[in-house]
Structure 1
Amino acid sequence: MRSYKKRLGFTLVELMIAMVLGLVLLGGVLGIFLSNQTTNRVNNELASLQSSARLAFQLMSQDIKSAGFSGCNNSSRVVSIITGAPAWSQWQGGLEGFAAGTNGLSESLRLMYGAGESVSVSTHVPPVINTNASSTLNANDIAMICDDIQTSIFQVSTVTATTVSHAMGPALSCSADLGYQSPLVCADPRPRIFPSDSMLMRFESVLWLVAESTDDPTISSLYRQAIIAGNVVTEEVLFGVSSIRFAYQDGDLPFGPANFSAAVQMGNVTGVQVTLVMDANAYANANLPLEMRTIEFFASVRNRLR
């Protein structure tokens, strides 16, 4: 009697079931892979956004904290000797907010203060200020000199080892006098001689605003506008900012920053809350939701805290 050995193998049905199960498993693996890729892309975009925003906030916080510092506690009497009285030279207590569209596309904020390493005055024989140490100021810098009575803002004409001159010449200063009337009338200058131990330092005037990006006009950016050697220099700090909002804390009121309006008493502001909204088009690869694109921080005005 002939015997047959049973042949081992898969039937067509079994093979099809195995293929379907394999495809299902592969689909799950691919789904997890694509999900991880998307998550990784979002995390990278978010990390890039946060890193860039952190630098902007550090710069802005430093400006806000320093606002109003004149070196001699006399911020109520500041005289500008700058020709034409440009907005950047007109002291408004060191902090001034603007409505949307006044400067750039969104709200904006101007901050003024004395910066850098200060030096004391030994004698003042207009237009020459003699100092007790070498100054870090250079010709054409905007500077401020102060005593307990007054602060004067002027452009430096010349500098030597221990002297700083405020002569008219080709500089922006409209007078060789440092004036004692505020605002100064350049056609009617008033002399002001600062006593020994007055303080001399660089004058900083900064405007934060949002405007079209220089790289892509369809996307806006955050800018810091400063005065360097008498010239307005605008630096693009953070690409892809669709808007910026400021809220102001009145030092005479309980905590609760108020949005910009004519009712805000800028002279009483002791802190500023800043809200940045990043442009979705600048982070299109990650499709970040609005809450992830909205970044907020609060900075105190150190010189007004009491």
Structure 2
Amino acid sequence: MKSVNGFTLIEVLIASTLGLVLITTAAELLVSARDWQRSEQHHSKRTEDIRLLSSLLRRAVRSAGDPGCHWQWQTNLTKTPRLSAQPAIANPINAAIDSESDVLVIQRWQPTGKAVMTAAVSESAVISLDRDHNRRFGHPVLLSADAGASCVLFNQAGEAPKDLNRGPGWASGASTTSASALNHVPEAGYQALAGVLTLYEPERVAFYIDDSVAGSSSSLFRRRLSAGNRREELLVGINAMQLAYAVDPDRDGDMDAWVSATDVGNWQQVTAVRVRVQLAAAASPEDGWIMITQALRNGLPHD
């Protein structure tokens, strides 16, 4: 009879050990690959969040104080001096938003549409349009004409839906004196307007942190006056926001100090905004903070 040779016990043990080593190595490689993939996804998300956040906030601050049309061509018929107009960066207390983080509030003029005058040229207080202007009595109106070369700011002094009225205007029951008028009458007469008109209205935008819609984290939200101040979720995974403001009290063009909102004495003196934001997608709380600094581009001109 022929003898049948099998594996010895030593050979079986060696083969089992090698197999176990291979399985363990493969498992470790799989875990490492998954960790690397998660790390890459985390890094990509954090990079994208930073890019989106920086772009959003920088664009918002750059637009703050947009006068609608250049100061050089703007005629102000209102009773409010230019330097006491609404500031580009506003006091967050006035926004009445409940948030554990700081609130960034910007204000600007924004275009709302175009209209054509029924007359080729208008030199009177009343400017008749081919459509409704949607401006109620006493509402501030900014319009530009002549391709932006002419610009006038006034309070709507009439109630006709297709007539903009830059006349003095008096509220019902008020005395018809210059002191109670909505607008002053220019001594040289009203500026002649021609061409297509661009209408602007005041816009206020507030950015703040609140619980996300899904409720699993915090998010960056905004409220816009033009959108009825409804809550708009912009970016999920933002834990906190801290703000500092550069102020220039002597208006010499140089920033004097960085201060918090409570230390801003005059919001017209704010020249830049520094935003510190904490991202949820960070390896550690310390790693989650980023800082964005943006100067205002539309501050009021020096007198």
* Band the TM-score falls in, shorter-chain normalisation: 0.5 to 0.7
The reply to whether residue 30 of structure 1 matches residue 22 of structure 2 is: no
Tell me if structure 1 keeps the 8 A contact 2:244–2:275: yes
Q: Which residue in 2 is equivalent to 1:214?
A: 213
Aligned-residue offset at 1:140: 5.6
Cα distance in structure 2, aligned partners of 1:54 and 1:188: 50
Cα distance in structure 2, aligned partners of 1:261 and 1:166: 39
> Which secondary structure does the structure 1 equivalent of 2:229 belong to?
strand
Q: Which residue in 2 is equivalent to 1:68?
A: 65
In the TM superposition, 1:34-73 aligns within 5 A as 34-70=31-67, 71-73=69-71
Q: Which residue in 2 is equivalent to 1:85?
A: none
Q: Which residue in 1 is equivalent to 2:176?
A: none
Gaps of 5+ in 2: 145-149, 172-178
Q: Which residue in 1 is equivalent to 2:192?
A: 196
**2:263 partner amino acid:** A
Residues 211, 78 of structure 1: alpha-carbon distance in 2 compared, 3 angstrom cutoff: farther
Q: Deviations over 1:38-69 (max 9, x none)?
A: 23123224423443453343332222102122
Q: Deviations over 1:64-89 (max 9, x none)?
A: 102122234399x89699xxxxxxxx
Aligned-residue offset at 1:8: 6.0
Aligned-residue offset at 1:244: 0.8
Q: Which residue in 2 is equivalent to 1:268?
A: 269
Tell me if structure 2 keeps the 8 A contact 1:78–1:91: no
In the TM superposition, 1:165-244 aligns within 5 A as 165=164, 177=169, 188-192=180-184, 195-196=191-192, 200-216=199-215, 219-228=217-226, 231-244=228-241
Residues 254, 64 of structure 1: alpha-carbon distance in 2 compared, 3 angstrom cutoff: closer
TM-score (norm 1): 0.64
Cα distance in structure 2, aligned partners of 1:51 and 1:255: 34
TM-score (norm 2): 0.65
Aligned residues: CA RMSD: 4.7
> Which secondary structure does the structure 2 equivalent of 1:228 belong to?
helix
Q: Which residue in 2 is equivalent to 1:114?
A: 109
**2:284 partner amino acid:** P
Cα distance in structure 2, aligned partners of 1:78 and 1:58: 36
Cα distance in structure 2, aligned partners of 1:78 and 1:246: 35
Tell me if structure 2 keeps the 8 A contact 1:80–1:153: no
The reply to whether residue 289 of structure 1 matches residue 284 of structure 2 is: yes
Aligned-residue offset at 1:178: 9.1
Gaps of 5+ in 1: 82-89, 168-174, 180-186
Cα distance in structure 2, aligned partners of 1:155 and 1:53: 46
Aligned-residue offset at 1:190: 2.9
Cα distance in structure 1, aligned partners of 2:158 and 2:50: 35
Residues 119, 110 of structure 1: alpha-carbon distance in 2 compared, 3 angstrom cutoff: same
